[in-house]
Chain A
Amino acid sequence: MSHALRVDWPSCHARGLCHELLPEVVDLDEWGYPLVTGEVTEALLADARAAVRACPRLALRLVEAPPR
């Protein structure tokens, strides 16, 4: 089962911590908000969980990626 990172936009205040913790999946846009660029693979799952826990605004969630 693959996972995807979703952002609760009204909560996110662009501190960019998620990008530092998970640069493989999270880029930042020109205003500093996270750009989720890919799926969270098994190998990245632990790092992704850490990023979710570290977000100071509790604005990140790991959801099961919809089947394609």
Chain B
Amino acid sequence: MSAPSPVPVPDRVVVHPGPALLAGLESGPWLPAHRARFGPLPDVSLDDLLDRVARVGVAGRGGAAFPFATKLATAARGRRPVVVVNLAEGEPASAKDTALALTRPHLVLDGAVATARALRAREVHVVLPGERPRTSVAVLRALDERRDPVRVRVHTASPTFVAGQARAVLELMAGRPDLPVTAWQPEAVAGHAGRPTLLSNAETWAHVAHLLLAGDPLRAGLGTTAEPGTTLLTISREGALPEVREVAHGTPWRDVLADVPDRPAAALVGGFHGTWASWDHLERMRVSRAAMRAEGMPLGAGIVHVPAPTTCPLALTADVLAYLADQSARRCGPCLNGLPALAAEVRGLVAGRDGTRRVERLAALVDGRGACAHPDGTVRLVRSALAVLGDEVEAHRSGQCATRSLREVTW
């Protein structure tokens, strides 16, 4: 049986105007408006590009926030590098790349094209999300408007959670099924066809373009010296369209979440591979990759999922786990066996079984033991549920979960 995503995949999204990437939304997504706003895409040398992205600390959107400059420098050392725009978000609760595709596709493409030129790469690959047709159409329309000095090749990823994983994307580009395979080297060293491959998500490319077209974000007063510039956030609320906001680093979460009408006890930060955080804890934090990582709630792709106050977070965790177990590509033994076992044990906690020890043991058994980070991300979620939802676990064990009667658990 296949478990559906407990959060619907958004192909429609509310995009709020923002200070940089999402400024001037009223002029539309089209190329003439984009060029009128920013002027022509400048030719930038590799050294200049490296210097600029390093100075403002452009980073990836994984939990580790890997520096873009490091990847760029690595890719530049090899022969005939390849540039990849990865729009296959996979994570159902994330809508930021969809928002960019719908409103700012030319920023995303400019970032990749300028980088390809600096690297003397001949090919830019654009990977579209199979489960988000409107996103794909928006990108294709934007590509149609452009005459780029590099070859652009388009691929469409399978609608699965792990299809956006870097190695799965490289498999897709090679014409094989887009399932993750074991990486023996970073893709910036040996990726597509063994060539150095610079693969980033849409948001990272948009930041690169904005930096080249509009200059240093700190000079515009955006961000902090440690973390210049802005980041995109998806506020995903149960029963509402997801909202994408662009905020400067350092913004208090209290301000970001000010118009959430009903505060739940805890929110899911970073999506399905993310961590539970108590609402109070989150509201005391600022939007900062470093600070949030230090508090054990990495910002990752910038998602905050806000369950309805009538939703039991433990039951939601069990639903997410069933979905994640189902999304395992079923090829790596520990992931194939461990995730369903883990999902069943967490379901057991919801049913009132005293199984936290077994959950911890299973988590340790799957952590780090797969071709991709799917088991690791799943374990992160489970461990945070045990750490933050202790009261709920206890309430279920003693048969007193306050919200259980309001939302029936699906078996």
Cβ–Cβ < 8 Å partners of B370 in chain A: 9
Count residues on chain B whose CB falls below 8 Å from chain A CBs: 15
Contact flag A14-B333 (CB < 8 Å), given A8-B182, A9-B182, A9-B371: yes
Q: What CA separation (Å) do A15 and B276 show in the bound complex? A: 38
Cβ-defined contact, A9 with B184, below 8 A: no
Q: What CA separation (Å) do A29 and B365 show in the bound complex? A: 7
Interface of chain A residues 24 through 62 with chain B (CB within 8 A):
29-33, 35, 61
How far apart are A16's CB and chain B's nearest CB, in angstroms?
11
**Residue from B181, B334, B371 in contact with A29 in the complex, judged by beta carbons closer than 8 Å:** B334
Q: What CA separation (Å) do A68 and B2 show in the bound complex? A: 42
Cβ–Cβ < 8 Å partners of A14 in chain B: 333
Cβ-defined contact, B371 with A8, below 8 A: yes
The answer to the question of A12 belonging to the interface, with a C-beta cut-off of 8 Å to chain B, is yes
Cβ–Cβ < 8 Å partners of B331 in chain A: 9-10
Label chain B's interface by main secondary structure: loop
Cβ-defined contact, A31 with B184, below 8 A: no
Q: What CA separation (Å) do A10 and B167 show in the bound complex? A: 13
Cβ–Cβ < 8 Å partners of B371 in chain A: 8-10
Cβ-defined contact, A10 with B334, below 8 A: no
How far apart are B46's CB and chain A's nearest CB, in angstroms?
28
Range of interface residues on A (Cβ < 8 Å)? 10 to 19
The answer to the question of B74 belonging to the interface, with a C-beta cut-off of 8 Å to chain A, is no
Contact flag A10-B182 (CB < 8 Å), given A31-B334, A31-B337, A33-B334: yes
The answer to the question of B9 belonging to the interface, with a C-beta cut-off of 8 Å to chain A, is no
Cβ-defined contact, A33 with B181, below 8 A: no
Cβ-defined contact, A10 with B369, below 8 A: no
Cβ–Cβ < 8 Å partners of B182 in chain A: 6, 8-11
Q: What CA separation (Å) do A52 and B364 show in the bound complex? A: 25
How far apart are A43's CB and chain B's nearest CB, in angstroms?
25
Q: What CA separation (Å) do A32 and B337 show in the bound complex? A: 10
The answer to the question of B332 belonging to the interface, with a C-beta cut-off of 8 Å to chain A, is yes
Cβ-defined contact, A30 with B184, below 8 A: no
Q: What CA separation (Å) do A32 and B334 show in the bound complex? A: 9
Cβ-defined contact, B332 with A9, below 8 A: yes
Q: What CA separation (Å) do A7 and B331 show in the bound complex? A: 13
The answer to the question of B335 belonging to the interface, with a C-beta cut-off of 8 Å to chain A, is yes
Cβ–Cβ < 8 Å partners of B333 in chain A: 9, 12-14, 31-33
How far apart are B367's CB and chain A's nearest CB, in angstroms?
11
Interface of chain B residues 336 through 391 with chain A (CB within 8 A):
337-338, 365, 369-371
Q: What CA separation (Å) do A6 and B368 show in the bound complex? A: 11
Cβ–Cβ < 8 Å partners of A11 in chain B: 182
Q: What CA separation (Å) do A29 and B364 show in the bound complex? A: 11
Cβ–Cβ < 8 Å partners of B184 in chain A: 6, 61, 63
Q: What CA separation (Å) do A10 and B371 show in the bound complex? A: 7
What are 13 residue pairs bridging A and B, where the CB atoms are less than 8 Å apart in the complex?
Answer: A8-B182, A9-B335, A9-B370, A9-B371, A10-B181, A10-B331, A10-B332, A12-B332, A29-B334, A31-B333, A31-B337, A33-B334, A35-B369
Told that A7-B369, A14-B333 touch, could you supply 12 new A-B pairs with CB distance under 8 A?
A9-B331, A9-B332, A10-B332, A12-B332, A13-B333, A29-B334, A30-B337, A31-B333, A32-B333, A33-B333, A33-B369, A35-B365
Q: Which 4 A-B pairs have the closest CB atoms?
A: A9-B332, A33-B333, A10-B331, A31-B337
